[in-house]
Amino acid sequence: ANFSEEVVESFPSDISTGIYYGWACVGNGDVHKMVLSVGWNPFYKNIKKSVETHIIHTFKDDFYGEILSIVITGYIRSEKNFRSVEALILAIQEDIEEAKRQLDLPEHLKLKEDNFFHLPEGKSVNH
């Protein structure tokens, strides 16, 4: 799930590029573990950042147009280039496993239940 350019520009300007982990919720759905990539976007000649969320869950349908709420709870590693697609895939798999381990810790697990993720009925909020 990629955030729009407008949302990315609202992120703190000093956020380091790299791989983060935390919690994500689509609309008023369940809260799931996630891995987040913050990096320079080659499409924009590396002058703009992109933010891509990998929710560790399989959804039955797409969720285009839904509100995606996230809480970043930790940092895994810095942004880097890879020599092959296989090396990239391996790194992504390792990042996901590290996120799962960290998010099972009590200090991170308690954030899954935060009221931040529960929108009042009939309310729409841009996060």
- Hey, which residues are catalytic here? 52
Cross-strand bridge partners of residue 23: 33, 71
DSSP the chain: -BPPHHHHHHS-TTPPSEEEEEEEEETTS-EEEEEEEEEE-GGGTTSSEEEEEEESS--SS--TTS-EEEEEEEEEE-----SSHHHHHHHHHHHHHHHHHHHTSHHHHGGGG-GGG-PPTT-----
Taking the C-alpha atoms of residue 22 and residue 27, their distance in angstroms, rounded to an integer, is: 17
